[in-house]
Amino acid sequence: MAIPAALADHLSLPLVCAPMFLVSGSALVKATCQQGVIGTFPALNLRTSEAFEEQLIDINQALTTAREQQPDARIAPYGVNLIVHGTNPRLQADLALCVKHKVPLVITSLGAVKEVVDAVHSYGGLVFHDVTNRRHAQKAAEAGVDGIIAVAGGAGGHAGTQNPFSLIGEIRQFFQGTLLLAGALSRGDDILAAQSMGADLAYMGTRFINTQESLADAAYKTMVIDSGAADIIHTPAVSGIPASFMRQSLEQAGYDMERLNNPGDINYGEKLKPVDDEAKAWKTVWSAGHGVANIADSPSAGALCARLKQEYRTAHQQLLDSSQAFVG
């Protein structure tokens, strides 16, 4: 496995709780990290760089205290998602704060830039980059990232459409660093399956929408439970980049369901406007992946992580038992 020791030595499950816009907050990050699962959040979930820095300080202090109080526990590092796109006016300021506070893991999206990678590497941090196809994965590898997140078909948020078997196989042809798989993972069995396909870590978002610590409101969580895979619409119309949303929320927001293939505008500066002025995208149009098909409750993050660990162990044993006849 190609998991850096800075991560592997502190994990109790090969899992990253993915950063979700307007869903992942400090409570979810701290809860997952204390379960040995990497917790992450988007910098743009905070309306200003000052608020972003306050959250970094809070998370760093909380995890330091937890490690002091539980020296034998596996408490995972945390990560921050940075949008590396020309329309994000906060990139340089937020990157500087990541360097200042030595964020252990930086997840970059919409641009693999060597200067960003070098800045994070300057203090010993790691950079993972999310991609949906081979071409973007090659660019990320050329930029020197430590890990590539293969966002396959069925993922929530900004997602691709490629089959995970194909995508993982293509990337492994030229990249030997840490490889993560995203796309409809919601059970411990899925984490083991991702590893068996060649991924080092699983990248799970939608399942964590329905945790008590998530910032999603009650109606959002109810819709996740009520939805099936057939309710997930993959469209560029909301944010200009193909992303997955629940059909019901698109209808409620007034989207013309016949015109969802028409692209919107990509502008991350718009996301920084006051909420009252913000476009409907992501605030009232709710993202989720095909994993909704296997979500029926809203446990605490701790209870969910414990369940995933047990499912992972059970699946591993079942796989060993069932494979004996073929590998003996």
Query: Residue 111's domain is classified under what CATH number?
Result: 3.20.20.70
- ∠ CA 175-177-178, nearest 5°, is 120
Residue 254 lies in a domain: no
Q: Evaluate whether residue 256 is within a structural domain.
A: no
In a structure prediction context, what are the per-residue pLDDT tens digits for the chain, which is 328 residues long? Answer: 589 999 999 999 999 999 999 999 999 999 999 999 999 999 999 999 999 999 999 999 999 999 999 999 999 999 999 999 888 999 999 999 999 999 999 999 999 999 999 999 999 999 999 999 999 999 999 999 999 999 999 999 999 999 999 999 999 999 999 999 999 999 999 999 999 999 999 999 999 999 999 999 999 999 999 999 999 999 988 878 899 999 999 999 888 887 776 665 555 545 544 443 334 466 789 999 999 999 999 999 999 999 999 999 999 999 998 888 787 6
Number of domains in the chain: 1
Question: What is the distance between the alpha carbons of residues 200 and 292, in angstroms, rounded to a whole number?
Answer: 23
Name the CA dihedral angle for 103, 94, 138, 262, rounded to a multiple of 10 degrees: 130
Let me know if residue 68 belongs to a domain.
Answer: yes
Residue 81 lies in a domain: yes
With the C-alpha atoms ordered 41, 42, 43, 47, is the resulting torsion angle positive or negative?
Answer: negative
Domain membership flag for residue 327 = no
Assigned token pair, 247: 């059909």
In a domain, 315, yes or no: yes
> By residue range, what is the domain housing residue 190?
5-216+291-322
* Residue 301 located in a structural domain: yes
Q: Positive or negative, the Cα torsion across 210, 212, 213, 219? A: positive
Place of tokens 């047990």: 310
Tell whether 269 is covered by a domain: no
